[in-house]
A and B are shown apart, each in its own frame.
Chain A
Amino acid sequence: MKAPTFKYLRAESRDEAYAAFTEYGDEGLVLAGGQSLMPMLNMRLAQPAVLVDINPISELSGILLRDQQLHIGATTRHVEVENSMLVAAELPLIGCAIKHVAHRGIRNRGTFGGSLAHADPAAEMPACAVALDATLILQSRAGERRVKAADFFLGVMSTDRRSDELITGIELPAQMSTDAWSFHELSRRHGDFALVGVAATAQRRSIGLDGLRLVVFGCEERPKVSKIAASMSLSRKDVAELATAVADDLDPMSDLEGDAKTKRIQARTLVERSLEDLLGGWPND
């Protein structure tokens, strides 16, 4: 199938993008990597009047470390994140999870900001952003807004971004060497979206763990930190019990690959494996 007719606007600067947003409002869609939008266009599931291509805005791309915060520009390609020494060193959770994002050809084109803006509940990067307590930077003619990842994702492909705003970048606190982290994903095939996944970070203490930010994703409408997990400090004997409690607390969506009961069993297994990783101190691959 071929995409429907639309107008293509090449934004060379943020101001040009804002001007287009003002002119076209909800009629316009932002084209970043296009790896989710283009299939929707080609299937005529999206029929925008205008596409605003932000790829030419060079200042939106890049990875910087500043004050223990890693700043990832919105149009930074997944492959750049994957190959970044900074990410590998400062955000090992992302470094691990990025390998689960689709396939080489998609990672070469897809963008970090695009993945967050698209807000697919089964995508890896939104879950990691929540687990890492990232902050999204949104800019518009009206100025800048900073939104915590946990508040940014509102539902299935629904976010707090207004149609006049551009995600310009994401700030992620660098992980400390004393931090533990874990990433697990269950998908039908390598590179597929997650049926269920877990992204988790925690601070190691002399006994057990504290500050557990455990995000189960793929089976609920949006990635969020498990409150039950966050409220506990964890030691090895609690693993099975906590995994069950986290899974029981989920409200999984049924899909073609399984009903809520299936998802809960799978989530419980992955949470248990994640907790063991965190306690073991050595992340899985």
Chain B
Amino acid sequence: MTEMLPIKLSVNGAVVSKLVDPRQHLTDFLRSDLGLTGSHIGCEHGVCGACSVRVNGQVIRGCLMLASQTEGAEIETIEGIVESGEAAELIAAFVARNALQCGFCTPGILLTAAEIVAEGKCLGRQEIRNELSGNICRCTGYHAIIDAVEMVLAEKMKEE
């Protein structure tokens, strides 16, 4: 029988203690053990970016990290950055600009975009394109996503 490992971590600010199968990747854990279904599984080989979550402040591929590696870690998911309000401006811009269609990739893109916005660099369109190149969107053609991120970055520049 599968030998389960105990882990204790923080997910969206709440302490979580669970037993996990050592082979289970982080996104499977978040989705099936914690019901955080906003992170999606698009490929399980680290290419599509739909599973992006934040671990200790940095966005990573949830399918390329084991849940068993998260002992003591701080995890944030789309649910977390929505509830904290951190993603509010980005979401408003994505909605206004119709920068999502099926929405399967969107939570992952928002996590990546939030990291870009938080870094506070002044980026041109091609730079935004490059920074988002690790998140596949099959519906929008990207143009509207770039518009939305550009809008939020411009707002941020204005504030500062």
Interface residues of A (CB under 8 A from B): 1-8, 10, 31, 34-35, 38-39, 41-43, 51, 53, 55, 79, 102-106, 108-109, 189-191
Contact = CB atoms under 8 A, between A and B. Distances in A.
Given A8-B68, A43-B44, A190-B133, 7 more contacts: A8-B22, A39-B45, A41-B23, A105-B49, A105-B61, A106-B134, A191-B133
Contacts of B131: 104
Interface in B40-79: 44-46, 49, 52, 55, 58-61, 63-66, 68-69, 71
A2 B134 contact: no
Q: What secondary structure prevails in chain A residues at the interface with B?
A: loop
Contacts of B23: 2-6, 8, 41
Contact of B133 (A7, A79, A103): A103
Q: What secondary structure prevails in chain B residues at the interface with A?
A: mixed
A38 B64 contact: yes
B69 A79 contact: no
A8 B70 CA distance: 12
A65 B13 CA distance: 37
17 contacts: A2-B44, A10-B71, A31-B66, A34-B66, A35-B46, A51-B66, A53-B69, A103-B134, A104-B116, A105-B49, A105-B59, A105-B112, A106-B46, A106-B64, A106-B134, A108-B59, A109-B64
B89 interface: no
A34 B59 contact: no
B147 interface: no
Contacts of A104: 59, 112, 115-116, 131, 134
B2 A5 contact: yes
Contacts of B116: 104
A8 B59 contact: no
B150 interface: no
A42 B25 contact: yes
Nearest to B28: A2
Nearest to B133: A190
Nearest to A50: B22
Contacts of B44: 1-2, 39, 42-43
B66 A103 contact: no
A34 B65 contact: yes
A2 B67 CA distance: 13
Given A7-B3, A8-B5, A39-B45, A106 B25 contact: no
A41 B22 CA distance: 12
A5 B68 CA distance: 13
Contacts of B46: 35, 38-39, 106
Contacts of B69: 8, 10, 31, 53, 55
Contacts of A8: 5, 22-23, 66, 68-69
A43 B25 CA distance: 13
Contacts of B68: 8, 10
The 5 closest A-B pairs by CB, nearest first: A103-B134, A8-B22, A39-B45, A38-B64, A108-B58
A10 B70 CA distance: 11
Contact of B25 (A3, A53, A79): A3
B126 to A, nearest CB: 10
Nearest to A9: B22
A272 to B, nearest CB: 25
B58 to A, nearest CB: 4
Given A35-B46, A53-B69, A105 B22 contact: no
A185 B27 CA distance: 32
Contacts of A43: 44-45
A106 B3 CA distance: 29
